[in-house]
A and B are shown apart, each in its own frame.
Chain A
């Protein structure tokens, strides 16, 4: 009986983790892994492959942070979370960083005890129409039928947009995004409304993806970014500047391939970013090569974007708003100095 109870005690001890309440940075360093909350599956943002390996734009944020803090992008413990669980998991300390296509809103930022550390993808409600319709812009959609997923913020966005432009539409609502696609495919509506990143994923699932186009208009703001706990500025700064480093990396033309060379022979800006000059890493409480590790192991923003959702991926999302500020987008990293 004694043996049995010691087995039971050992079994229960496995589930309980008591972490010292130092800063998140110390916890992560001590543990040796970064605990990262991701979605249970969203094409191009956080997805698991057949071997259980995670990839995606959201996942790359965690990998970059792990590379900058621990020197190894693979030292990430992924925790798939539902939309309802995500903030609790962060608040209770189960995860160190939440990177789960979470929209940065005023309410979330101010009332949940959390901080948004930046934007990695500017999403927004968009339209997909069948090519046969010959529509070039959303303003030509007056009187059309719309396939919408019920209970989403999309419903509100499209109602506002059509009222503002004094147009009419007829809503055909469905329960899941899969059903909206089926409805669109069977011709029950003329256009499909959803977040633009979703539209591209839905489009691939069509029998003939080339028969549908995603219109350029985006009618609502959905900036997605990583989230950390409030009152831990050291960690907040790290995540914020790792995100900035990947954007700045693209701006300075630093890629995973040329970072090694530029670290020695680059211009002063590149050298500061890569840690061969200045003390940017030290000020974050990290080693000097923090951004160098992140960029060589994960790549700069452009590499990450194209690999996961852009032209090198099945989704083929164009950069749009998510291009650098000097190339027609709104990505802008504060100065690295």
Chain B
């Protein structure tokens, strides 16, 4: 009897009930009576809201014009955003000098990009000093006095570019501070430890709003008469201290994630404290802490909006000011706030995309 040869049947397409859009709908939206009811309710809700919303946002919205009188239709008055766009993005910075703000934003992008593409041996030597110098270079450019450019007082800086630059400048300077505080907190030296703990716990335990108020209302009274420190500089220092405390805790969790073997290995080949910290521990801490560092950055970026409580003309303050202009009193608050929300969402979402890609790149699968 010949041995029966095993012949597999040709592969068949998956049953209709498990693939394709209908199956997807069935599995995800109509899988149980409860889900069916929920789906129908949500859909009917959307049908009620969406047409009106789309009509208000796009169809009967007003897009062209330069004054409030151009808003004749019932929909959103996007003319408001258009007319105020320069204020919203650059504040009152002189129109002819806007290249300086753009240059700073460009430099920021370049430095971030550099830290990705530079070969690994140059990365620390070039990217880190570039990062640390960036806030001060930008300060010199935006101010202009010491570079022979037209002097622009900090009262004229503002808009969304201020939110971006202030957040970036704060976190960059907070980086070394936070690292030192984290080291201090883990140190065996009583002085370094207690100073670090006090700093971290004070600035982490105080609401950032309270710190802003202190900086703007109380601090000026402590300076000797005739000495005034620029408001924006005060705010910057507060943001740096506040962020340093958070970064210190981020780094501390990074330190704790490094296995003890790494410290012992570094000790056994005879590295000193700073060598051990910078060549063995620091790179690993950065890698482990990356998601938290970016999350902290997104937090400080959004926190810059709080500056409106002390009248720093950041994006939301510009919108609020615009709403009180007697030529724009028609109630455009919804458009303004919606626009600010959209701008922030776009920025924060792209930053979290970036952070995901960085995490993938840094992942060397040393999962413990």
A297 within 8 A of B: no
Set of chain B residues within 8 Å of A85, measured between Cβ atoms: 216-217, 310-311
**Chain B CB within 8 A of A20 CB:** yes
Given A50-B86, A201-B326, decide whether A178 and B226 contact each other with a Cβ distance below 8 A: no
Asked if B46 CB lies within 8 Å of chain A CBs, one says: no
**Which of A51, A79, A201, A315 is close to B155, meaning CB atoms less than 8 Å apart?**
A79
A17-B230, A80-B313, A92-B223 are contacts. A43–B216 as well, Cβ < 8 Å? no
Q: What's the Cα separation between A10 and B133 when bound, in Å?
A: 11
A20 to chain B, nearest CB (A): 7
Interface size, chain B (Cβ < 8 Å): 56
A30 in the interface (beta carbon within 8 A): no
- Distance in Å: Cβ of B191 to nearest Cβ of chain A: 25
CA distance A17 to B233 in the complex (A): 11
* Complex contacts, A205 vs chain B, CB 8 Å: 329-331
Q: Which residue of A lies closest to B146 (CB)?
A: A10
Interface centre among B83, B86, B227 (most CB of A within 10 A): B227
Residues of chain B contacted by A8 (CB below 8 angstroms): 136
* Cross-chain contact A41 with B320 (CB below 8 angstroms): yes
Question: CB within 8 A of B227: which of A17, A42, A313?
Answer: A17
CB neighbours (8 Å) of B133 from chain A are 4, 7
Task: Tell me how far the C-beta of B185 lies from the nearest C-beta in chain A, rounded to whole angstroms.
Answer: 25
Q: Tell me, rounded to whole Å, the shortest Cβ–Cβ distance linking B79 to chain A.
A: 11
* A89-B220 in contact (CB<8A): yes
Residues of A within 8 A of B322 (CB): 41, 48, 50
Complex Cα–Cα for A17 and B234 (A) = 13
Assess the A50–B83 pair: CB atoms within 8 A: yes
Q: Which of A3-22 contact B (CB under 8 A)?
A: 4, 7-8, 10-12, 14-21
Q: Which residue of A lies closest to B217 (CB)?
A: A88
Residue A77 lies at the interface, judged by CB distance under 8 Å to chain B: yes
A14 touches B145 (CB 8 A): yes
Instruction: Determine the chain B residues whose CB is within 8 A of the CB of A10 once the complex forms.
Output: 136, 140, 146
B143 in the interface (beta carbon within 8 A): yes
Asked if B256 is at the interface of the complex by the 8 Å CB criterion, the answer is no
Please determine whether B226 and A40 come into contact, CB atoms closer than 8 angstroms: no
Q: A7-B137, A44-B326, A48-B321 are in contact. Are A15 and B232 (CB under 8 A)?
A: yes
A48 x B325 contact (CB < 8 A): yes
Output the least CB separation between A120 and chain B (Å). Answer: 17
Contact across chains for A92 and B145 when beta carbons are under 8 A apart: no
Q: Is the CB–CB distance between B155 and A78 below 8 Å? A: yes
| Closest-CB distance, B174 to chain A (whole angstroms) | 15
User: Inside 8 A of A17's CB, which chain B residues have their CB?
Assistant: 227-230
Q: Distance (Å) between the CB of A22 and the closest chain B CB?
A: 9
Chain B's closest residue to A42 (CB) is: B324
B129 at the interface (CB under 8 A from A): yes
Task: Provide the residues of chain B in CB contact with A78, threshold 8 Å.
Answer: 155
Q: Does B41 contact A (CB under 8 A)?
A: no
Q: Identify the closest chain B residue to A15 (Cβ).
A: B233
- Quick one: CB contact mask for B319-340 with A, threshold 8 Å, 1 for yes? 0111111110111010000000
Verify A82–B310 contact, CB threshold 8 A: yes
The B-contacting residues of A in range 39-89, CB under 8 angstroms, are 40-44, 47-52, 77-82, 84-85, 88-89
**A314 CB-CB contact with B under 8 Å:** yes
- Whether A49 and B325, one on each chain, are in contact in the complex, defined by CB atoms closer than 8 angstroms, is yes
Q: Which of B212-249 contact A (CB under 8 A)?
A: 213, 216-218, 220-221, 223, 225-234
Residues of A within 8 A of B220 (CB): 88-89, 91-92, 94
The answer to whether the Cβ of A223 comes within 8 Å of any Cβ in the partner chain is no
Residue A135 at the chain B interface, CB threshold 8 Å: no
B324 touches A16 (CB 8 A): no
Contacts of B320 in A (CB 8 A): 40-41
Q: Which residues of B contact A211 (CB under 8 A)?
A: none
A41 touches B324 (CB 8 A): yes
Chain A 151-201 residues near chain B, CB threshold 8 A = 178, 181, 201
Please tell me if B92 contacts chain A, counting CB pairs below 8 Å.
yes
Within the assembled complex, what's the spacing in Å between the Cα atoms of A49 and B322?
A: 7
Complex CA gap A49/B323 in Å reads 10
Contact B228 A43 (CB under 8 A): no
CB-defined contacts of A204 to chain B, threshold 8 Å: 326, 329-330
A178, B333: Cβ atoms closer than 8 Å: yes
Q: What residues of A have a CB within 8 angstroms of the CB of B217 in the complex?
A: 84-85, 88
Residue A93 CB within 8 A of the other chain: yes
CA distance A199 to B230 in the complex (A): 36
When the two chains form their complex, are residues B311 and A81 in contact, meaning their CB atoms are under 8 A apart? yes
What are 13 contact pairs spanning A and B, CB under 8 A? A4-B133, A7-B140, A10-B136, A11-B139, A40-B321, A43-B324, A48-B322, A81-B311, A88-B216, A93-B228, A201-B326, A308-B326, A314-B329
The 6 closest A-B pairs by CB, nearest first: A15-B233, A52-B92, A11-B136, A92-B220, A41-B324, A41-B321
